[in-house]
Chain A
Amino acid sequence: MSAPSRILVLGASSAMAQAYARRRAATGAAFLLVGLNAARLAAVAADLRACGAPSAEVATADLADPAGIGAHAAAFRARLGEPDEILIAYGELGDQAESERDLDAARRAFDVNFTSVALWTLALLKDRPPQAPLALVVIGSVAGDRGRASNFVYGAAKGGLDRFLEGLAQAYAATPVHIVTVKPGFVDSPMTDAIAKGPLFASPDAVGADIVRAVEKRRRVVYTPWFWWVIMTIIRHLPWFVFKRLKI
Chain B
Amino acid sequence: MSAWGRLSRAPHEVTRPPFLDDAAALIRTSGAPGTSRLVRGLGRSYGDVCLNAGGPLVVTDRLDRFQSLDLAAGRVRAEAGMSLDRLLRVIVPRGWFVPVTPGTKFVTLGGAVANDVHGKNHETAGSFGAHVDKLGLVRSTGESLTLSRDENAELFAATIGGLGLTGFIAWVEMTLVPIAAARLHTESLAIRDVDDFFRIAEDSRGWPFTVAWVDCLAKGRDLGRGLFMRGRWAETGDLDVHRPPRLGFAPELPGVLLNSLSMRAFNALYRKRPFAVGACTQHYDPFFYPLDALANWNRLYGKRGFYQHQCVVPFPAARDTVVRLLETTAAQGQGSFLAVLKLLGESRSGGVLSFPMPGATLALDFPNKGESTRRLLATLSEIVLAAGGRLYPAKDAVMTPEMFRAGYPDWRRLEAWRDPAFGSDFWRRVTGDAA
Which residues of A are at the interface with B, using a C-beta cutoff of 8 A?
13, 15, 26, 37, 39-40, 43-44, 46-47, 49-52, 189-190, 193
The size of the chain B interface, using a CB distance under 8 A, is 14
Shortest CB–CB separation between residue A37 and chain B, in angstroms? 8
List 27 interface pairs A-B (beta carbons < 8 Å), by A numbering.
Answer: A13-B19, A15-B18, A15-B62, A26-B90, A37-B19, A39-B19, A40-B21, A43-B19, A43-B20, A43-B65, A46-B66, A46-B67, A46-B68, A47-B65, A47-B66, A49-B66, A49-B69, A50-B66, A50-B67, A50-B68, A50-B69, A50-B76, A51-B66, A51-B90, A190-B16, A190-B18, A193-B16
In the assembled complex, which residues on chain A have CB atoms less than 8 Å from the CB atom of B90? 26, 50-52
Min CB gap B223→A, angstroms = 45
Q: Which residues of B contact A51 (CB under 8 A)?
A: 66, 90
Known: A39-B19, A43-B67. 12 other contacts (CB 8 A): A13-B19, A26-B90, A39-B21, A43-B19, A43-B79, A44-B65, A46-B67, A46-B68, A49-B69, A52-B90, A189-B18, A190-B16
Contacts of A47 in B (CB 8 A): 65-67
A143 to chain B, nearest CB (A): 21
Query: Taking the nearest CB of chain A, how far is it from the CB of B65, in angstroms?
Result: 4
Q: In the A-B complex, list the 7 residue pairs whose CB atoms are closest, starting with the nearest.
A: A50-B66, A47-B65, A50-B69, A190-B18, A47-B66, A40-B19, A46-B67
Task: Chain B residues near A50: list those with CB within 8 A.
Answer: 66-69, 76, 90
- Taking CB atoms, residues of chain B closer than 8 Å to A40 are 19, 21
Q: 1/0 contact trace for B73-87 toward A, CB 8 Å?
A: 000100100000000
A37 — which chain B residues lie within 8 A by C-beta?
19
Instruction: Note all chain B residues with C-beta closer than 8 A to A46.
Output: 65-68
Across the interface, which residues of B come within 8 angstroms of A13, CB to CB? 18-19
Q: B240 → chain A, closest Cβ, in Å? A: 14
| Residues in B whose Cβ lies below 8 Å from that of A26 | 90
- Closest-by-CB residue of B relative to A42 is B67
**Whole-angstrom distance between the alpha carbons of A100 and B235 in the complex?**
66
- Separation of A46 and B70 alpha carbons in the complex (Å): 12
A50 to B90, CA, bound (A): 8
A residues less than 8 Å from B65 (CB atoms) = 43-44, 46-47
Residue of B nearest to A46 (CB): B67
- Give the residue name and chain of the A residue nearest to B91 (CB): A50
Q: Considering the chains assembled together, what is the distance between the CA atoms of A47 and B62 in angstroms?
A: 13
- Within 8 Å by CB of A190, from B20, B62, B68, lies B62
Q: How many Å lie between the Cα of A50 and that of B65 in the bound state? A: 9
Which A-chain residue is minimally distant from B79 (CB atoms)?
A: A43
Give B343-367 as 1s and 0s: 1 = Cβ < 8 Å from A's Cβ atoms.
0000000000000000000000000
A191 to B204, CA, bound (A): 53
Q: CA–CA, A13 to B79, complex, Å?
A: 15
Q: Mark B46-67, 1 if CB is under 8 A from A, else 0.
A: 0000000000000000100111
Residues in B whose Cβ lies below 8 Å from that of A193: 16
Q: How far is the CA of A165 from the CA of B237 in the complex (A)?
A: 48
Q: How far is the CA of A65 from the CA of B50 in the complex (A)?
A: 43
Question: Whole-angstrom distance from the CB of A39 to the nearest CB of chain B?
Answer: 6
Q: Which residues on A sit within 8 Å (CB–CB) of B20?
A: 43
Closest residue of chain A to B18 (Cβ to Cβ) is: A190
Smallest CB-CB separation from A188: which chain B residue? Answer: B16
Nearest chain-B residue to A15 (Cβ)?
B18
Q: Which of A15, A44, A47, A51 has the most CB of B within 10 A?
A: A47
Contact partners of B16 in chain A: CB under 8 A: 190, 193
How far apart sit A243 and B20, CA to CA, in the bound complex (Å)?
Answer: 43
Question: Which partner residue on chain A sits nearest B17 by CB separation?
Answer: A190
Bound Cα distance A12, B220 (Å): 63
Complex Cα distance A44/B64, Å? 10
Q: Which residues from 8 to 46 on chain B have a C-beta closer than 8 Å to any C-beta of chain A?
A: 16, 18-21
For residue A44, which residues in chain B have a CB less than 8 angstroms away from its CB? 65
A37 to B79, CA, bound (A): 18
Give the residues in chain B near A15, CB-CB below 8 Å.
Answer: 18, 62
Question: Please, which residue of chain A has its CB at the minimum distance from the CB of B63?
Answer: A43
**Restricting to B132-168, which residues have a CB under 8 Å from any CB of A?**
none
Give min CB distance, B248 to chain A, whole Å. 12
C-alpha spacing A47/B69, complex, angstroms: 9
**How far is it, in angstroms, between the C-alpha of A40 and the C-alpha of B19 when the chains are bound?**
7
Bound state CA distance, A40 and B18, in angstroms?
Answer: 9
Those of B75-132 within 8 Å (CB) of chain A:
76, 79, 90
Q: How far is the CA of A134 from the CA of B90 in the complex (A)?
A: 28
Report how far A166 CA is from B20 CA in the complex, Å: 38
CA distance A52 to B79 in the complex (A): 18
Separation in Å of the B82 CB from the closest CB of chain A? Answer: 9
**Chain A contacts for B18, CB-based, 8 A:** 13, 15, 189-190
Of residues 310 through 351 on chain B, the ones whose CB sits less than 8 Å from some CB of chain A are none
Measured between alpha carbons, how far is A58 from B21 in the docked complex, in Å?
18
Taking CB as reference atom, which chain B residue is nearest A190? B18
- Tell me, rounded to whole Å, the shortest Cβ–Cβ distance linking B22 to chain A: 9
For the complex formed, measure the closest distance between the CB of B64 and the CB atoms of chain A, giving whole angstroms. Answer: 8
Complex Cα spacing A44 to B67, Å = 9
Identity of the chain B residue whose Cβ is nearest the Cβ of A189 in the assembled complex: B18
B62: chain A residues at CB < 8 Å are: 15, 190
CA distance A46 to B62 in the complex (A): 15
Residues in chain B near residue A39, CB distance under 8 A: 19, 21
Nearest A residue to B22 via CB reads: A190
Q: In the assembly, what is the distance between CA of A49 and CA of B71, in Å?
A: 12
**Least Cβ–Cβ distance between A204 and chain B, in angstroms:** 9
Query: In the assembly, what is the distance between CA of A47 and CA of B20, in Å?
Result: 13
**Bound-state Cα–Cα, A115 to B39, Å:** 40
A39 to B68, CA, bound (A): 15
Nearest to B14 among chain A residues (CB) is A193
A198 smallest CB distance to B (angstroms): 14
A4 CA to B422 CA, complexed, in Å? 46
- The distance from the CB of B251 to the nearest CB of chain A, in whole angstroms, is 15
Chain A residues within 8 Å of B76, by CB: 50
Q: Shortest Cβ distance from A3 into chain B, in angstroms?
A: 15
